[in-house]
Amino acid sequence: MERRRVVITGLGIICPIGNDVDTAWQALLNGESGIGPITLFDASDLKTRFAGQVKNFDVQELFGAREARRMDRFIHFWMAAAREAHKDSGLDIKPEEAHRCGAILGCGIGGVGTLLAEHEKMMREGPQWISPHMVPMMLPDSAPGRLAIELGLRGPNMSIATACASSTNALGEAVAMIRRGAADVMFAGGAEAGVVKLAIAGFSNMGALSERNDDPERASRPFDKDRDGFVPGEGAGVLVLESEEHALNRGAHIYAEFMGYGASADAYHITAPMGTGEGAALAIRAALEDAGLHPQDITYLNAHGTSTVLNDKSETLAIKQVFGEYAYKLAISSTKSMTGHLLGGAGAIEAIFCTKAILSGKIPPTINYETPDPECDLDYVPNQVREVEVNVAMSNSFGFGGHNGCLIIGRYQP
């Protein structure tokens, strides 16, 4: 049986550099940083006092005051991005096909903001004052569940948690569902609202975060010799995925084709990446095999590129293992240099950026790249956008727990 082709027909994004796809993409091409001092809470006693925050985001305007109070911030982001993707796709979901339409979210930590706020309330006022909405507000699966209620999606509906690889895995598994005939349409992506004091303190005490408090816009510097940790971010990305047949039958505008997906585990350490890059290389090879492509077919690689010492070095080694000498010719950039690290939401927004690179013929830069690192010696598209015809783009995501995911998106050829 011939494998069903899967295409991308809708895009939606909320992130530190823009609250819609066009705004975020233009900011990327301009090399604009979305990193700044934390304003969501008092961060004065933290070692890291900056992050990539979503800005000018009016939840009451989007959802109304009553409904907004019943959703955690990560659900606000997911729903806003999903609404943009839905509108962009032009989908009209009819009741008779609702069971063929689903949603899958990738999220690392769910409604941690709600959990902390309700715990503080309990300690201050007593358990009788805990919100009856607390549990659904903090559960990651509530986000795709809410979207299903809003749009009438009766097909597969779930969440995936693989730390920073969560939304890459969500996209890959959504594609697998469509390919095997379990669905015709999937809303897939990720969301995270991890800019909360407890999470920042925890990451900081692990030694994972940058402490460049005097210059936050230049703190996220993937592959640069002077990198000192990642910068936390928040937001969401959602893609509408369809079988090619379904998209063509309704006359949809097709942005690109989802070509390949690979996943692997380091089986090495609960937080540190495998120093040799072997685990990540397994996922990259698996994605290439799934797509039926050779390494030389990839035009652009959106790197995981977190700006930590260990990740950037091990990812560079993984790329060299798979691509060989071609690794030095491959255009690689880390858009986390501008957005910060959206954790479970990172893979989804980066898949959108890969799609836009194919459509526009422009590769976003890695900003803040100033001092080359001898151990990271590839072409990271430093500081300036590059105009290149991009036919096939790859996106890497690697998460705590040793989870590795890789996606390949290509130009759609009917």
- Of the candidates 76, 86, 304, 403, the residue annotated as catalytic is 304
Given CA atoms 232, 390, 273, 239 in this order, what sign does their dihedral have?
A: positive
Catalytic residue (choose from 76, 86, 246, 341): 341
Amino acid at 243: S
Cα–Cα distance, 82 to 86 (Å, whole number): 6
The contacts of residue 85 (CB under 8 Å, 6+ apart) are 10, 11, 12, 187, 189, 238, 239, 240
Mark whether 253 is an active-site residue: no
Task: Return the bridge partners of 102, or none.
Answer: 186
Spell out the SS3 assignment of the chain: CCCCCEEEEEEEEEECCECCHHHHHHHHHCCCCCEEECCCCCCCCCCCCEEECCCCCCHHHHHCHHHHHCCCHHHHHHHHHHHHHHHHHCCCCCHHHHHHEEEEEECCCCCHHHHHHHHHHHHHHCHHHCCCCHHHHHCCCHHHHHHHHHHCCCCCEEEECECECHHHHHHHHHHHHHHCCCCCEEEEEEEEECCCHHHHHHHHHCCCECCCCCCHHHCCCCCECCCCCECEEEEEEEEEEEEHHHHHHCCCCCCEEEEEEEEEECCCCCCCCCCCCHHHHHHHHHHHHHHCCCHHHCCEEECCCCCCHHHHHHHHHHHHHHHHHHHHCCEEECCHHHHCECHHHHHHHHHHHHHHHHHHCEECCECCCCCEECCECCCCCECCCEECCCCEEEEEEEECCCEEEEEEEECCCC
User: Does 164 qualify as catalytic in the annotation?
Assistant: yes
Catalytic residue among 164, 354, 376, 406: 164
Cα dihedral value 292, 184, 241, 179, nearest 10: -20
Reply yes or no on whether 99 is catalytic: no
Q: Are 109 and 198 in contact (CB under 8 A)?
A: no
Active site residues: 164, 304, 341
